[in-house]
Amino acid sequence: MTIGQQAGLASAFERAPERRRSIEYSLNGHATARHQPQARRRASMGAVKASPEPAEAITMEASTPSPDPEPVPSRPSPRSYDSRKSATYARSVSRTLSWGGARLDENQLQERAMRITGTHMDELMDGLSQGQPAPQTSLQNAILALQETFLIFRLAVLLYSYLGLGTRWMGKLIRLIVYSVLLLPGFIQMGIFYFLSPRVTRSLVYGLAARNRLDLYRPPSKYKRPPEGYKVVIYITGGAWTIGYKAWGSLLGRRLSKAKVLVYCLDYRNFPQGTMLDMMRDVNTGIRWILHHTHFHGGDPNQVYLVGQSCGAQLAAMALITQAEQSYQKAQLPGGFPAWQPQRVRAMVGISGVYNCFDLADHFNRRGLYRKLFDNIMSVNGQPNLKLFSPTYCIKGVEWGKSLPPVLLLHGTSDTCALVSNATQFSQALEEAGAQVELKYYDGETHTSPLIENPMRGGHDKLVDDILACVFGHNDLSPWQMPLCPGFLINIAAWICPF
């Protein structure tokens, strides 16, 4: 190198002191970390001090990571699972994992917005979030519990400000309370199972945001774990985007896990704690965490199935469709952070799902989910975008529909909440896009009867039978269950149910 070249290089470093310090720090730290074990071994053998590696090798080490996901690690024994390591990994998910270097392409965002909504959306963004590690000490946990108590009160007041003194939602709230009281014998039994059963692990942390928790339902210990691990179901509960909670999946989780399936039930932020983009981010974070961690729990990471009910079916469909389009475009899209590989999901099952928010908005308004509230739930930067969060519209006119895994839609013909017509529309849109889809109607079933009333009656469960047929590929009857509640109370509750 000539003296002029050396002077030019020194001048460049003087003009960028922060860059110089960052490079020196990263190179020194990288080399030290890589050669410290070798230096100790050579020192113990009387060897000379190790020389640094070439700069080219260090540059390759510091390059942009490859897209999600990394190769599935070898399966350890479930007993080797370390909860502290898992919590540390969970805290790093939202900070360090992204689309693997892909950019947020403004042109593709505009093309997607034009295709789905018919209008340009100049401010449609889904920025990456940063967070702080979860509290570890008992005092910090107690403070967090107190903060969440005040937060729930504040959110309840905010939600009330949207609902006002409307007679529709007040009537539905009263009916919901009566419905819960009538089914209380069954709910008590499920509460005992949920809190006391060794098969249930509650509130595993999967992310940094509020309510980033999940429940894990394991098969009974009498079953021998398959060599490749149990098949895995990721279940996303419903709750009208406002009252959802992971414990609502205990009935389904109990029955599926009894049939040798490992079940994860995701919790996510509800409105007004978050809008649809926040809910989708939580769901994506949870799915990605499960794909990277299920082998620790005895699950097979190559046999993962996605199941959602009501608005949970909408979230599952939106997450799957967005990830498929994001993978095809190789660019980050709104609602697609953090990214995960949709090919890792073997199939999706939607139960009583909401797939067309645009067409159902007026219907929901008449039933007490007022348009003002619904528009705020489905908003981006304060502007409602119902088509953007409607799977039926998001799948129309796409070129990558065949890349989606098989989709099974289960819907009751007497569902007065999420009308069966919106499931038919979604099924047709999937078929037109080239996806493999099956729509199965439940004659005379309502929005909640396949999930709550029918399992309370005991015996075999038609819904669980269909999910197991999708998971295992053959039709077998679900395990027989004792009734959880007297039949006459279930009949009255079904008549009073507000959904």
Which stretch, 26-30, 200-204, 375-379, 423-427, has highest mean pLDDT? 423-427
Q: Is the pLDDT of residue 193 over 90?
A: yes
Answer yes or no: is 37 within a domain.
Answer: no
Per-residue pLDDT of 194-228, as tens digits, reads: 999 999 999 899 998 888 999 999 999 888 899 99
Q: Where residue 384 sits, what CATH number does that domain have?
A: 3.40.50.1820
261 pairs with which residues across the strands? 231
Burial of 60 from C-beta contacts in 10 A (0-12 / 13-18 / 19+):
exposed
Answer yes or no: is 413 within a domain.
Answer: yes
- The string of DSSP codes covering 252-308 is HHHHHHHTTEEEEEE--PPTTT--HHHHHHHHHHHHHHHHHHGGGGTEEEEEEEEEE
Tokens (6 digits) for 250: 């205990």
Q: Is the pLDDT of residue 402 over 70?
A: yes
Q: In whole angstroms, what is the distance from residue 104 CA to residue 125 CA?
A: 9
What's the average model confidence in pLDDT over 123-148?
51
Q: Which residues are marked as active site?
A: 310, 415, 447
Per-residue pLDDT of 139-167, as tens digits, reads: 655 565 566 556 666 666 665 555 555 56
Q: In whole angstroms, what is the distance from residue 260 CA to residue 255 CA?
A: 9
More confident position, 103 or 59:
103
Answer yes or no: is 71 within a domain.
Answer: no
Mean pLDDT over each residue of the chain, to the nearest integer: 76
Per-residue pLDDT of 88-102, as tens digits, reads: 433 333 333 333 334
Q: How many CA atoms lie within 13 A of 155 on its CB side?
A: 16
Tokens (6 digits) for 124: 């449609």
CA dihedral 144, 150, 156, 160 (to 10 degrees): -150
Answer yes or no: is 41 within a domain.
Answer: no
Q: In whole angstroms, what is the distance from residue 260 CA to residue 257 CA?
A: 5
Please measure the distance between the N-terminal and C-terminal CA atoms of the chain and give it in whole angstroms: 77
* Under 8 Å between Cβ of 442 and 410: yes
Give the containing element (helix H, strand E) for 348: strand 345-351
- The string of DSSP codes covering 37-79 is HHHHHHHHTTPPPPPPPPHHHHHHHTSPPPSS-PPPPP---GG
Give the containing element (helix H, strand E) for 179: helix 167-182
Q: Is the pLDDT of residue 6 over 50?
A: no
204 pairs with which residues across the strands? 214
Tokens (6 digits) for 440: 């199965």
Residue range of the domain that includes 492:
83-122+164-496
What's the average model confidence in pLDDT over 463-469?
93
Full-model pTM: 0.73
- Total residue count of the chain as it appears in this document: 499
pLDDT at 256: 94
Reported confidence tier of residue 263, pLDDT bands at 50, 70, 90: very high
Reported confidence tier of residue 261, pLDDT bands at 50, 70, 90: very high
- Residue 446 in 3-state DSSP? coil
Answer yes or no: is 197 within a domain.
Answer: yes
Q: In total, how many domains does the chain have?
A: 1
The stretches of 367-449 forming alpha helices (DSSP H) are: 371-377, 391-394, 420-432
Per-residue pLDDT of 337-385, as tens digits, reads: 899 999 999 999 999 999 999 999 999 988 878 888 899 999 988 888 8
Q: Is the pLDDT of residue 103 over 60?
A: no
